[in-house]
Structure 1
Amino acid sequence: MSLRSSLATFVGNSSHFVLKDILHRGGTSLPGKLAIKIDPNVMTSLAEKYDVILITGTNGKTLTTALTTRVLREKYNNVITNPSGSNMMQGITGTMLTAKPKAGEKPIAVLEVDEANVEEVARQLKPKAFVLTNIFRDQLDRYGEIYTTYEKILKGIRLFPEATVIANADSPIFMRGNLPNPKVYYGFNHEEASGDMRAPYNTDGVLSPTDDSILHYHFMTFANQGYYFSKTDDFKRPELDYAITKLNKLTPSYSNFDIDGKPFQIEIGGQYNIYNAMAAYSVGRFMGVSESQIKHAFESNAQIFGRQEAVKVGDKDVTIVLIKNPVGANQVIQMMSTDDQPFSLIALLNANYADGIDTSWIWDADFESLADTNMQAISTGGERYKDLYVRIKMAGYGDQPVHEDLTKIVEAIEAQPTEHVYVAATYTAMLQLREQLKQKGYIKSGMEG
C-alpha cells in the first residue's frame, strides 16, 4: 500500500470512528468521500484480499445484495456488504475501508453498485462476478435511455473478460454486447413456451439485439421480461442454468415457488422479488453453496433496508416499499393486489439527486390499477407532493389528503383508517420516513449488514 493510500485509509477510518463511536451516526459515504479526496484509487489495494461480486441493474439491487449476502454466509464466514444501498463510489469506498473481515478464509465482498459507477468501481475492485438484475427507464436525467445505461455497465464488464456474468436471461437487453465472459443465466420457466404475444405498446427494451426487430414472447412475466424470440431470425432467449418452474403462492408478505422443481420461499412479497431471489440463488450455486443452505437463507425473516420493511407504528402494521420508476411502481401495485385485507396507501415523492430530479415517470405508472385492490384510503406527500397529488387525482381518486411536512408523517400513519398501511416512497423520502420512525423509537438505526 502506498503512502498516499495509507493516509487515505487512515483518514477514512478515523472519520468513521468519529461518526459511529462518538457521534453515534451511521454511514460510510463521508469516510469514503474523504478517502477518495486523498487517493482516488484507494480501493485498489484494499480489494486485493477479496473475492468481489458486483450487483447492478435498475431495480432490485438492494434486495438482491442482501439475499446474496445471506446465501453466501451459509457457507462462508467472511462476507462483507453495503447493506443500506450506499452504492456510489464514496459509499462503496467507505464500505471497503471500514470492513473488518475475520482472519482465515479469503473474504468475499458482495457490493451493490449504481449503474453509472460500474466502470470505475470494477476498475479498482477487479470483480470475480457481475450480477445483472434488469434495466428499465429510470432517472433519465442521470442515465438516459436504457441502452445508454447498459453501455455504462458494459464498460465495466469489458475490463474483465474472465469475470463471470450472472444475468437475468428474461431481460433481452442483456443479450447485447457479445461479451466473451463466462455466463450464468437465470429466469422463469413456469409456463409452457407455446404462446405468441407482443409486449404492450409502451414497453421499452423489446428490440432484438440482432436486428432491432420487435421481439415476440411465448410468455411474459412483467415489463419486457419473459421468454422472448425473434420472428426475423433465430434469436431467442438462451437456455437457463437455473429456472423458476412453478409459482405456488404469492402474498404481500411471502412468495412460495419452485426452482428447478424444488420448493423455496422468501419472506417478502411480489413476483418481481422472485427475480432477486433467483439472482441470489445463482450466485450461491456459482460459489458452491448447497440448495439446502440457500433454502435456509431465503427463509430468514431479517428485514431489508427500506424494501418491504415491516414496522409496527402504534396499532398500525406498516409496510415500507420503494418506488422510483414506472415498472417498479407497477410491480408494487401488483404486490398490493395480492393483499386480501383492506389497506391504506401513503405515497411520498421526492426529486433529489438520489431519487432522480425528473418526476415525469409518475405519469407512466399505472396508478389506475389501484382500483383493483383492497385499498380503502390514499394520500400523498413528499417534497413534490403537488405533482403526485395531480397524478393520483387524474387516476380517478379525486381530492386526497396531502402531507406537506414529512416530519409529521408518523402522525399521518397513525391516523389512517385501516390497520394495514403501505408507504410507497422514493429513496430520499424513505430515508426521511425512517429517520422519523427511528426518532420515535419504532425502528432501530441499523439493518442487516
Structure 2
Amino acid sequence: MRYAPAILVGRLTRFAARLRKPGGGSAVPGLVVNRIAPNYLKRTLSGFPQGLVVVSGSSGKSTTTKMLVAVLRAHHVEVFTNPSTANISQGLTSALLERADWRGRVPGEMAVLEMDEGHGALVMQGVDARVVTLMNVMVDQIDRFHDSEMVAGMLARIAARASESVVVNGDDAYLGRLVDALGPDVAVRRFGVAEPVMASAPRGLGYAETTPERIPVGDGVRLERVDGRSAVLDDHGSSVAIGLPARGIHYGVDATAAYTTAKALLGERFDPQTAADALSAIPAVFGRGERIRVRDQDVDFVLVQNPASYQLNVDSIEPGTSDILFAIGSDVRDPSYFWPTDASSLGRVSIVSGSKAPEAALMLAYDDVVVDRVEPDLGRALDDFLAAPAPASGTKTIVFSADSMRRTRAHLGLTGAE
C-alpha cells in the first residue's frame, strides 16, 4: 500500500509520455517514481524469492543478460528482467513499473538485471545480489568512463554486494585483481576464451588490460572456437556446441558468460544441452548484430558505443558487404574518441550520416574507406539507402551510434520493445 500513489503517478506519466512520443519516454516514469518514492527500487530488488542477479561491465551487458534470462527460463525459472535494456536507475524503475501490481509488487522468482557501471554502484548501495557477473573493463564513453581505474572501482562496489558468487571474465586483468579482494565466503567463477580464439582477434578483445595467459581447462568455462555464428564452449572438459545471435567473438564471450552464470545459479538443476538450445535460439539484442526486415528487405543493424565495441563490431561485419550506411549522432560528443580504431575492413561506405557526419567521413577517409556520399539528414539518408537496389554482396548494413540507432528506429517505425 505504501507505494500505491507512486505507482499510480508513474503509470499516468508513462501513459502521457507514450501519447506524446509512441515507443519512447521509457525512463521518464521511473524518474518520477524515484523522486516520489526513493526507496521503491531498492526495496523491490531485494524482494525476489530466489534473489537478484546483476550483470555489469563496460560492454556486453545487454546481450549477456538476454542470454542468461533465456537459459534460466528454459530451466523453468520465472525471471523478471529489464527487456528494454534500460540499465540506469530510472530505466530499472520503469521496467519494474511495467510488471508491478497496484501495490508495487513484481512477479518473478528471480530478477536478472543489467546495470550501468556508474548507476549500478549507486543502486546497489543497501541491496544484496545473489550473483554478480562482470563482463570487462574497457576505455569507454569519453565523457564518463575514460578512466579504467574508476570503472574498476565502480564494478568492485557492485561485486561487493554479491552474497553467493561473482562470475568474472578471466581474461580481463582489472577484474582479476578485483576478485582477489573479495571475501572468502563469496565463490569466484571464471569464464574466458582459449588461446586460438584470442589469437584470431589480432587487435584483442578491447579490454583495457588483458591477462597474459588464458584460464586453464577445468578452471572455468572457456570459449574454444568461433566460426561465424557458431561456437564451441569447453565446460570443464566437456564440449558444448552453441549458435550465436550474430557474427563476432564478443558474442561468443557473452554466451560463455551467460552459460557460466546460469550454471552458478542452478547448480545440480543445470543441464548443458538445455542451456545450449536456449543460447542457440536467442535473437540479436536491439541493434547489436540485429537483422530486421524493413521495406521488404533484410537490413543488419550494428551498434557501436565505445572504441572497443566499434572495432569488434566493424571487424565482425561479413567481408565483402557492399552497401553500408554509417551514422554517428550527438551521443558521440567528440568523434576523435573513435580515431584510434581501424575501419579499413569496410572498404567502401555508401552514405555517412548523422549529426557528426562530416567528422565521421573524415575519420573513415583516413582509414582508406571510400565514402560515396555524406548526408547529415539521417531520415533522407535512410530513405535513399533503403530505396537503392539490392546489394551486390552481403546484406544492407547500418552501423550507428546509440543516438542514431534511436533515430533510425523511430524513422522506420520500429517502436516495439527492444
TM-score band by shorter chain is 0.7 to 0.9
Q: CA deviation at 1:81?
A: 1.5
**What residue is the counterpart of 1:7 in the other structure?**
5
Q: Which moved more, 1:305-314 or 1:408-417?
A: 408-417
**What residue is the counterpart of 1:179 in the other structure?**
182
When the two chains are superposed, the root-mean-square deviation of aligned CA atoms in Å is: 3.0
**What residue is the counterpart of 1:426 in the other structure?**
401
- TM-score calculated relative to the size of structure 1: 0.80
SS at match of 1:135: coil
Q: Give distance in 1, aligned partners of 2:401 and 2:194.
A: 32
Structure 2 letter corresponding to 1:176: R
**What residue is the counterpart of 1:278 in the other structure?**
256
Instruction: Quote the sequence identity (%).
Output: 22
**What residue is the counterpart of 1:45 in the other structure?**
43
Residue correspondence of structure 1 range 33-432 to structure 2 within 5 A? 33-50=31-48, 51-100=51-100, 107-158=109-160, 160=161, 162-177=163-178, 178-180=181-183, 181-189=186-194, 191=196, 228-229=212-213, 240-247=219-226, 249-250=227-228, 254-260=229-235, 261-288=239-266, 289-314=270-295, 316-336=297-317, 339=318, 342-352=321-331, 356-371=332-347, 376-397=348-369, 400-416=372-388, 418-419=390-391, 420-432=395-407
Q: Which moved more, 1:397-406 or 1:265-274?
A: 397-406
Alpha carbons of 1:395 and 1:10: their partners in 2 closer, same or farther (altered >3 Å)? same
Alpha-carbon displacement from aligned partner over 1:179-209 (angstroms, at most 9, x marks no partner) = 223211001125499x9xxx99xx8xxxxxx
Alpha carbons of 1:237 and 1:291: their partners in 2 closer, same or farther (altered >3 Å)? closer
Q: Give distance in 2, aligned partners of 1:162 and 1:77.
A: 20
- Size of the alignment, in residue pairs? 398
Alpha carbons of 1:347 and 1:121: their partners in 2 closer, same or farther (altered >3 Å)? same
Contact 2:63 2:284 in 1 (8 A): no
Q: Which moved more, 1:6-15 or 1:276-285?
A: 6-15
**What residue is the counterpart of 1:207 in the other structure?**
none
Q: CA deviation at 1:104?
A: 12
Gaps of 5+ in 2: none
- TM-score calculated relative to the size of structure 2: 0.85
Please state if 1:446 is matched with 2:417: yes
Gaps of 5+ in 1: 204-219, 230-235
Contact 1:344 1:377 in 2 (8 A): yes
Alpha-carbon displacement from aligned partner over 1:3-27 (angstroms, at most 9, x marks no partner) = 4x44323322333355569985455
Q: Which moved more, 1:275-284 or 1:147-156?
A: 147-156
Structure 2 letter corresponding to 1:273: Y
Structure 2 letter corresponding to 1:276: D
Contact 1:56 1:115 in 2 (8 A): yes
Q: CA deviation at 1:105?
A: 8.7
Q: Give distance in 2, aligned partners of 1:322 and 1:76.
A: 32
Q: CA deviation at 1:315?
A: 5.2
Please state if 1:30 is matched with 2:28: yes
SS at match of 1:396: coil
